[in-house]
Amino acid sequence: MQRYETQRRRAYIVRLTIAQLIVTFVGMLLGYILGQAEGLLSVLLGALVALLPHAFFIQRMGIFHAKRRTRGAIHLFRAEAGKFGLTVALFVAVFVVAPPSNPALFFYAYVAVVLTHWLTPWLMPRDRTTN
């Protein structure tokens, strides 16, 4: 039973990551159409600010490594706090070091990638029983 749940979690994470990358590439295409290279870079920065903390959370929780998999609420809160801290640090770094030329595209890309997880359950196959 536990192995099945682990496989389902892995499948969900893989599908979520694929969906986020698709959203990123579509956003980059739209950013290029709307603002040439500057728009593309703004979308890319916004997507990276969303994707990197997500990858940190997955790594911290050990979802892909059964031996390193952490359990319990304290590990979840630590991973989520690290994800939040990394998000804040990336926002600061982006706006201090390389401010996006089009902040609207930057924030649209960030929000689109972050909210992709709401749509990902539709990509998961339903457990169907046949009688």
CA-based torsion, 86, 92, 94, 98: positive or negative: negative
How many other C-beta atoms can be found within 10 angstroms of the C-beta atom of residue 23? 20
Where residue 100 falls among pLDDT bands split at 50, 70, 90?
Answer: confident
CB 70 within 8 A of CB 15: no
- pTM value? 0.77
Contact 83, 56 (CB under 8 A): yes
Question: Do the Cβ atoms of 110 and 77 come closer than 8 Å?
Answer: no
> Going by C-beta distance under 8 Å and a sequence separation of 6 or more, which residues neighbour residue 94?
45, 49, 100, 106
Per domain, the residue ranges of the chain are 2-119
Coil/strand/helix, residue 63: coil
pLDDT at 88: 94
- Is the separation of the CB atoms in 125 and 65 below 8 Å? no
Are 117 and 9 in contact, with CB atoms under 8 Å apart? no
Tens-place pLDDT, residues 22-80? 888 998 898 888 888 888 888 899 999 999 998 888 888 776 665 555 566 777 788 88
